[in-house]
Amino acid sequence: MPQQRSEETRAHLLDAAVRRFAISGYNAASVDEICAEAGVSKGAFYHHFPSKQAVFLALLDGWLKTIDSGLESMRQATVPETFVEMTRLLPAIFAAADERLPMFLEFWLQASRDEKIWEATIAPYRHYQEYFARLVADGIAEGSLKPETDPQAAGQVILSLAVGLFLQGVLDPHGADWQKVGEESMKILMNGLAS
């Protein structure tokens, strides 16, 4: 085990960071706090990351990779099934109950302000937009979706809905039966798009 301990420390720091950021927010969560929760010193922190922002970017990167792998698994299926699968999986990806969810809100908020973080966020995000637009276009080509649908806009609508469901789930977890709302939204989407 060469640098195993080192990697464990790094993992502990990332784990502590995501929790502190989620609970207190990026600004309010201090490096000292994160170190304490990770059980390491500040020296270790700055040995592994050049700055506080760097941890944040590392977490963002990990989150984007997680979503990507979720999308990748959907990309295997054929198009009509993909579309159904997508509408099923989308809320699951975004709304999986997890105490770290406020972290993602934090990502977006920071992204809207910090140029560096914005670039790291928006590029993959646009990639998702295109992905959904393509899915809709394929559905139309196959005849399973209304031909007059605008693929770009419809893809955006699906993404918007997912984002909205996710956000509400974060802010008011017990405010509704989100499982049910997710299913209802998929019904409405399918009815509204299917030919």
**Terminal CA-to-CA distance of the chain, rounded, Å?**
59
- Long-range pairs of 83-86 with CB within 8 A, sequence gap ≥ 24: 83/135, 83/136, 83/138, 83/139, 83/144, 83/145, 84/190, 86/132, 86/135, 86/158
Neighbours of 41 (CB within 10 A): 13
Alpha helices (runs of H) in the chain, residue ranges in sequence order: 4-24, 31-38, 42-48, 52-74, 79-95, 102-111, 115-142, 151-171, 178-193
Which partner from the list a second copy, DNA, none does 6 bind, CB cut-off 5 to 8 Å by kind? DNA
Instruction: Give the shortest CB-29-to-a second copy separation in angstroms.
Output: 10
C-beta of 16 vs 189, nearer to a second copy: 189
Which partner from the list a second copy, DNA, none does 31 bind, CB cut-off 5 to 8 Å by kind? DNA
What the block records as the tokens of 187 is 């019904």
C-beta of 21 vs 49, nearer to a second copy: 21
> Which residues, numbered 38-67, are part of the site for DNA (CB under 7 A)?
40-44, 46-48, 51-53
Distance (Å) of CA 105 to CA 25, 110, 143, 168? 9, 9, 37, 11
Judged by CB under 7 A, the stretch of 31-39, 61-69, 71-79, 97-105 that binds DNA is 31-39
Which residue in the set 31, 79, 84, 190 belongs to the binding site for DNA (CB under 7 A)? 31
Which partner from the list DNA, a second copy, none does 52 bind, CB cut-off 5 to 8 Å by kind? DNA
Binding-site ranges for a second copy (CB under 8 A): 23-25, 27-28, 102, 105-106, 108-109, 111-113, 121-122, 125-126, 129, 146, 149-150, 152-154, 156-157, 159-165, 167-168, 170-172, 175-177, 180-181, 183-185, 187-193
To the nearest 10°, the Cα dihedral for 179, 72, 153, 148?
-100
Residues near DNA (CB under 7 A): 1-3, 5-6, 8-10, 27-33, 40-44, 46-48, 51-53
